[in-house]
Structure 1
Amino acid sequence: MLKKELNIYTFGDLLEHYPHRHIDKTKLSKIGEINLHTEFIQVAGKLVHTEIIGERRAKRLVAQLKDDTGVLELAWFQGINWVQKSLTPGMSYLVFGRTGFFNGRPQIVHPEIEPYVPAQAKGKAFLEPVYPATEKLKARGLNGRQLGKLTYQLLTQIRPEDLPENIPDAIRISLKLMPRYEAIRAIHFPADPAQYQQALHRLKFEELFMAQVRLNLVRIQRHRASKGVVFEKVGDYFNAFYNQYLPFELTGAQKRVLREIRTDTARGHQMNRLLQGDVGSGKTMVALLSMLLAADNSYQSCMMAPTEILAQQHYTGLSELLKEMPVEIALLTGSTKAAERKKILKGLREDTIHFVVGTHAVIEDTVQFKNLGLVIVDEQHRFGVAQRAKLWEKAAVPPHVLVMTATPIPRTLAMTAYGDLDYSVMDELPPGRQPVTTVHRSEMARANVMDFVKTEITKGRQAYFIYPLIEESEKLSYEDLMQGYEQVKSFFPEPAYRISMVHGRQPQEQKDTNMQRFVSGDTQIMVSTTVIEVGVNVPNATVMVIESAEKFGLSQLHQLRGRVGRGSEKSFCILLTGSRASKEARERIKIMCATNDGFRIAEKDLELRGPGDIEGTRQSGALNFKVASIVNDKELLEKARAAAEKLCEEDNELKMAKNLILKAYLQSQPQKNGWGKIS
């Protein structure tokens, strides 16, 4: 039962099933002290009355406990006959439980209750652990208290050598960490709150430190074992573009990332770098310069995007930038015509095409490269690992990999979830970009919002109206969108205004046509679901109205906002909400209006939602912490990371005598999933 419900297979698993809180049994309160803010309480008094009330499912046992300040009602809905037999009216009892109120009177349902003898009670004062349990376990009589008794019995039988130290002494002593044996005992049964905090601190550090050591060892192993093509020089392609055709001065962040890529690709090991940059930070320019570096060394490059719209956009943008250069670039997607496709495949095989931009069409078996040296994956989370891996199988020596994402990742998360990768951060916007002004408006202000949009359109600008996608109901989403479309049309009647609409139910060809009409300026307004979240680039669009903004997550709101402010004109994002937004939704709206900084937004998103969804997508043991939190323990994570990096740099095979305890511990642990390369 413990195996199935709590994944407890061994004594070690039981010891690592930590209590989620402790009850302070050192304190005895009075019944009269109970108020609406009281959560748990321990009281002593005389049992004055017991009675069974109701029948069948409504049956319950009710008792009254009285002290010199008031009366507390006790109630049981299960095990009624057994409980009644064990209680004796007129006797004194010690009662503990979660308080509530029923008909205005204080009550504890299913309290912990035992006979109370003041002389004996003095020796019983302690912090009692409360363990997570499941309903199925509770039904079998294995509640949190029973788990505590099992753990207590186990702890009486184990010795320090049964729980050997796993952190090298020098690190443990320098950080004043409690020994492991003492910490395990104290996390369950601490003598006082201070000892519990010491134990918790030690075990949190241990979790974070072990994760960081594993990640560092994986990265070191990858650097040592993975062969890669060598980009020996910066040549004519790179230099000609940089000196003659670069449309703007690179930001400091772009220059830094290019230096990192240059170093990676010259070492003879496969580069595997995650490039995270906020919307509009200039990742595509870094990608282009990296491809030119590959071309200088006689290698081909492939850029893979998740949608045809984004692939087309990359192709158009790169073609425009390279129009004066002797570089061949091709676009390969599912809708590429047969004759053109044949020509592209021939060019890739014969190395007459330098760069190919495409969707998942580029990973098909018929696509063969003569000399693939660099693979760039845009918005990598939209591709499966197997899909991405197919690209590096197209070369005898694995090509260098640059994975790009416009979703800023909080530093704490990057250190844990992506610590096995080399990663670069671009946190500056290119010159000429103005920050987007974000405002919150209620449904009551719709007419004013529409007037503002009309003013922008009169200036020759364009606008988006975005409606939420309800994943559980495509039909509901479609109906909401159609109602919204009709509402927008009522404010912006044709032929004075021209409107495009894009949604998931449309055939791809119609979707592309409607999108293209907006991109070309043929329509002034785009009504859409979140299909335009990534990749649409319309510099002339200066207004985005997000309908029912309370239904969107923070990162999605930020991604959507990134579709405006892409030109030199001042841009606006208007968050329209209904009157019933939750507290969390209001918090999201508030942070969106306060900042354009995607990294700050990502940190807030992590605080609000926790890393759970990322654990799911990463399927990584890196985040399965029992006590540590990457949200609340940032400072401890920094210390763990610094200690792990120093140790791994000094002894990357853990051969030194002082590190053997750590090596033995890591080897004794079950193999974790997800420690390999992201790509």
Structure 2
Amino acid sequence: MGDTTLESPVAAVFGRATVTRKRVEDDLGLRTVGDLLWHLPRRYLETQGDTELGALTEGQDLMVVAKVLATDVRSHRARPRLAFRTTVRLATAGGGPTLEATFFAKNGPHAESLAADMPPGSRGVFTGRTKQFRSQWQLSSPHKVMFEGSPAQVDPAVAETLRGLLPVYRVSGKIDSFTILTAVRTALDMVGEIPDPLDRADRERFDVLDLTTAFQWVHAPADWAQLTRAQQRFRFSEALITQLVLARRRAAVRRLGARARTGGGGLLEAFDARLPFTLTAGQREVGADVEADLARDHPMNRLLQGEVGSGKTLVALRAMLRVVDSGGQAALLAPTEVLAQQHHRSITAMLGDLASGGMLGGHPDGTAVELLTGSMTKGQRREPLLRIASGEAGLVIGTHALLEDHVSFADLGLVVVDEQHRFGVEQRAALTDKAGTPPHVLVMTATPIPRTVAMTVFGDLETSVLAELPAGRAPIQTNVVPLADQPRWLDRAWERVREEVGKGHQAYVVCPRITAGEQEEGESDPSQAADDADWFDEPVDEAPKRTLAAVEEVAPLLAEGPLAGLRVATLHGRMPPEEKDRTMRAFAAGEIDVLVSTTVIEVGVDVANATTMVLLDADRFGVSQLHQLRGRVGRGGLPGLCLLVSYAEAQTPARERLAAVAATSDGFELSRVDLAQRREGDVLGRSQSGFRSGLQSLRVLRDEKTIVAAREAAVAMLDEDPDLTTRPALAAGVAELEASTASEFMDRS
């Protein structure tokens, strides 16, 4: 046993129990003793009192401490012979539902023995999957361990093991939590002292437990105080190693260097001179930060967070012009063609003759502005591609088309990513890789999604915030229209639309679908906002039993019904680009009263006269999308109104999301709501869905202080010893993470 290490195969723990071992390996992916010990409990049960149950749902894997109310032994005819079963009725705390658990026996004496083990009044831990039969909740395929009763009925060693807090593990298939519990405690005895990547001095310095004690206390805590100390050790260790990797990556990028972009031309000065308004204090402050970043010889990696309409694009444009003044090129990557076209139109309009560099009548300090989108034909792309490759085009605006292999730049100095959560890590990396030296990177978002917030907290991005709105922006009133409770409120919503149009204003109606069975490209899966069953007891949001609102169905119904007589048009991503552009121009010109659209208008659409938005099936959109969408109204100094229409029931996660959006217009606050519901996603890797967090123990919101402390510790350690030569075990942990697939993308995030 003394030869067992964390690298030993898990078979060392299970011995001859080959079936159990194979299930642990195949179902849970635990192949070494270390894997087993790192399979940390997901929650804990108090064994001193019965478990208090809330509402139950079919199919829950349940583990409860309960008292036996009654025991019943019966035989029944089961081919080809007589079968026996022992059924117990269980009571939990707080007057919750009673449970029935049936244990099948091989013969009558065995059934009677089972009943004797569970007499009325005895207590134990019971596991199984919930199901309902004739209005009675049952535990199917139950397991039990009794720890209260007469000495003849309870194993003293088992009773001692179950004192204090009982860990509940993530299980799968036919493996139950007791099997994992027994295996883990056997492994702890076999391994003995566990190598610790933190030496004694570091543990004292950071006030954390040694690793051996932390494993013992997390798997067998006597009380909550021991558990808290153990969890703190694991969280700090994970944060520290992560921070060390991030810090080393940042240092490596700095060593690669970037070309300082300090200006020197007259383009930015000429642009500033013709601005018809004064920059806000926030825009000036953030602009100075960006300017300082661009002047350094290592890449900028900055997140620009600003409320919808706060002027992020202007800050980004001024940064792009500074890079062009420095002899380089700047690319703006937009997630949709509508947004790319909008950016191209607005930037060209703001620049005026400064956007006609090299052309007859162009400004002597001007540059060329090119648009590149996926719908452009090969012939339409030829000239822009040549001007981009030659460097004649200083400003390049495009969609995913910019990422294609045949797109090359003469000197790409700055990449601006708009609404960065719409792009994967690899997509952003594909554009930055087109530069000879690492380009400066500025990412913009109105509401950081969970992964962005996580990366921000972890210190991978410098953060700038535009908190104030420019003059002319009006507040937006947001209300939930709960059709499950108040079905008649929908009629009032359409009346409000008519009232606003009657005042000479315009409105959006947003649907989650194009047609009844067609989802808008890039639209988020509504289940993304739901909970991960591994971490929560709540079920994932169920698909609606009714058909979701679709543009092609809603528009004619409105035009013939509550909005009859108004000019109603449609817009969605499957329309030809020319038709989309024509529709948006008509709406901007006031030729359309109500635009029924998908989320294609989520970002970049700027129609000052639009004051009202009705979001149908609003619960099917994420928090970030809702915040972005409502930002399309109230842009012309007129008060905005956003109505979130939903059939979701009260007190469900979906309604809670809508209530949160209605309660605040603070983008960072909403990002925390989003993060709390969706989790971090794979913070260090490719996944951005929020499910299956790549973090084992850390949670970004809960552990912000720990993460910040670990970042400070990591910086101090690397200042003392850049290669961690005096801490070989810690260096090994850092190297393992650096070598992992996830870490390949950390410096590109």
Query: Which range, TM-score by smaller chain?
Result: 0.7 to 0.9
Q: 1:446 aligns with which of 477, 484, 490?
A: 490
Output the CA distance in 1 between the equivalents of 2:42 and 2:497: 52
Name the SS of the counterpart of 1:322 in structure 2.
helix
Q: 2:670 aligns with which of 571, 585, 601?
A: 601
TM-score w.r.t. structure 2 length?
0.77
The question of 1:179 aligning with 2:216 is answered: no
Q: 2:144 aligns with which of 105, 112, 132?
A: 112
Which residue in 2 is equivalent to 1:238?
268
Kindly indicate whether the alpha-carbon contact (under 8 Å) linking 1:34 and 1:106 is maintained by their aligned counterparts in 2: no
Alpha-carbon spacing, 1:64–1:227, altered in 2? closer, same or farther (3 Å): closer
Output the CA distance in 1 between the equivalents of 2:171 and 2:90: 33
The one-letter amino acid paired with 1:166 is P
After TM superposition, list the pairs within 5 Å mapping 1:182-261 onto structure 2.
182-224=213-255, 226-233=256-263, 235-242=265-272, 244-261=273-290
Alpha-carbon spacing, 1:471–1:383, altered in 2? closer, same or farther (3 Å): farther
After TM superposition, list the pairs within 5 Å mapping 1:124-523 onto structure 2.
124-125=159-160, 126-127=163-164, 129-136=166-173, 138=174, 142-160=175-193, 163-167=194-198, 169-224=200-255, 226-233=256-263, 235-242=265-272, 244-323=273-352, 325=354, 326=363, 327-328=366-367, 329-336=369-376, 341-409=381-449, 413-415=453-455, 419-441=459-481, 442=483, 443-469=487-513, 473-474=517-518, 480-491=550-561, 496-523=565-592
Output the CA distance in 2 between the equivalents of 1:233 and 1:467: 45
Q: Which stretch shifts more, 277-286 or 58-67?
A: 58-67
Which residue in 1 is equivalent to 2:3?
none
Output the CA distance in 1 between the equivalents of 2:176 and 2:244: 36
Indicate the percent of aligned positions where both proteins have the same amino acid.
Answer: 35
Q: 1:51 aligns with which of 54, 74, 78?
A: 74
Q: Which has the higher helix share?
A: 1
Kindly indicate whether the alpha-carbon contact (under 8 Å) linking 1:238 and 1:293 is maintained by their aligned counterparts in 2: yes
TM-score w.r.t. structure 1 length?
0.85
Which residue in 1 is equivalent to 2:724?
654
Kindly indicate whether the alpha-carbon contact (under 8 Å) linking 1:412 and 1:631 is maintained by their aligned counterparts in 2: no
Kindly indicate whether the alpha-carbon contact (under 8 Å) linking 2:73 and 2:87 is maintained by their aligned counterparts in 1: yes
- CA RMSD, Structure 1 to Structure 2 (Å): 4.0
Output the CA distance in 2 between the equivalents of 1:210 and 1:314: 41
Name the SS of the counterpart of 2:555 in structure 1.
helix
Alpha-carbon spacing, 1:464–1:668, altered in 2? closer, same or farther (3 Å): closer
Q: Quote the offset at 1:622 in angstroms.
A: 11
Task: Provide structure 2 residue ranges, at least 5 long, that are not aligned to the other structure.
Answer: 1-21, 57-61, 92-97, 355-362, 520-545
Output the CA distance in 1 between the equivalents of 2:597 and 2:55: 48
Q: Quote the offset at 1:280 in angstroms.
A: 1.8
The one-letter amino acid paired with 1:6 is L
Which residue in 2 is equivalent to 1:87?
113
Which residue in 1 is equivalent to 2:714?
644
Which residue in 2 is equivalent to 1:9?
31
Alpha-carbon spacing, 1:41–1:309, altered in 2? closer, same or farther (3 Å): closer
Alpha-carbon spacing, 1:90–1:297, altered in 2? closer, same or farther (3 Å): closer
Output the CA distance in 1 between the equivalents of 2:41 and 2:641: 49
Name the SS of the counterpart of 2:349 in structure 1.
helix
Q: Quote the offset at 1:629 in angstroms.
A: 1.9
The question of 1:567 aligning with 2:636 is answered: yes
Kindly indicate whether the alpha-carbon contact (under 8 Å) linking 1:500 and 1:515 is maintained by their aligned counterparts in 2: no
Name the SS of the counterpart of 2:644 in structure 1.
strand
Alpha-carbon spacing, 1:194–1:66, altered in 2? closer, same or farther (3 Å): closer
Q: Quote the offset at 1:309 in angstroms.
A: 1.5
Structure 1 residues 461-504: Cα deviation after superposition (integer angstroms, max 9, x where no partner): 1100111238993189797433321232135666x522210134
Which residue in 2 is equivalent to 1:96?
124
Kindly indicate whether the alpha-carbon contact (under 8 Å) linking 2:63 and 2:126 is maintained by their aligned counterparts in 1: yes
Q: Quote the offset at 1:44 in angstroms.
A: 7.8
Alpha-carbon spacing, 1:465–1:176, altered in 2? closer, same or farther (3 Å): same
Q: Quote the offset at 1:670 in angstroms.
A: 7.9
Structure 1 residues 400-434: Cα deviation after superposition (integer angstroms, max 9, x where no partner): 23233333246993346864344434333223322
Which residue in 1 is equivalent to 2:739?
671
Q: Quote the offset at 1:525 in angstroms.
A: 1.0
Q: Quote the offset at 1:232 in angstroms.
A: 3.3
Q: Quote the offset at 1:444 in angstroms.
A: 0.8
Which residue in 2 is equivalent to 1:41?
65
Aligned length: 660
Alpha-carbon spacing, 1:40–1:434, altered in 2? closer, same or farther (3 Å): same
Q: Which stretch shifts more, 123-132 or 617-626?
A: 617-626
The one-letter amino acid paired with 1:641 is R
Alpha-carbon spacing, 1:147–1:511, altered in 2? closer, same or farther (3 Å): same
Which residue in 1 is equivalent to 2:59?
none
Output the CA distance in 2 between the equivalents of 1:449 and 1:55: 62
Alpha-carbon spacing, 1:413–1:173, altered in 2? closer, same or farther (3 Å): farther
Alpha-carbon spacing, 1:508–1:278, altered in 2? closer, same or farther (3 Å): same
Structure 1 residues 600-622: Cα deviation after superposition (integer angstroms, max 9, x where no partner): 11111222232348776349999
Kindly indicate whether the alpha-carbon contact (under 8 Å) linking 1:231 and 1:266 is maintained by their aligned counterparts in 2: yes
Task: Provide structure 1 residue ranges, at least 5 long, that are not aligned to the other structure.
Answer: none
The one-letter amino acid paired with 2:417 is V
Alpha-carbon spacing, 1:35–1:580, altered in 2? closer, same or farther (3 Å): closer
Name the SS of the counterpart of 1:177 in structure 2.
coil
Structure 1 residues 436-459: Cα deviation after superposition (integer angstroms, max 9, x where no partner): 111223441233322322222222
Q: Quote the offset at 1:53 in angstroms.
A: 4.3
Alpha-carbon spacing, 1:551–1:342, altered in 2? closer, same or farther (3 Å): closer
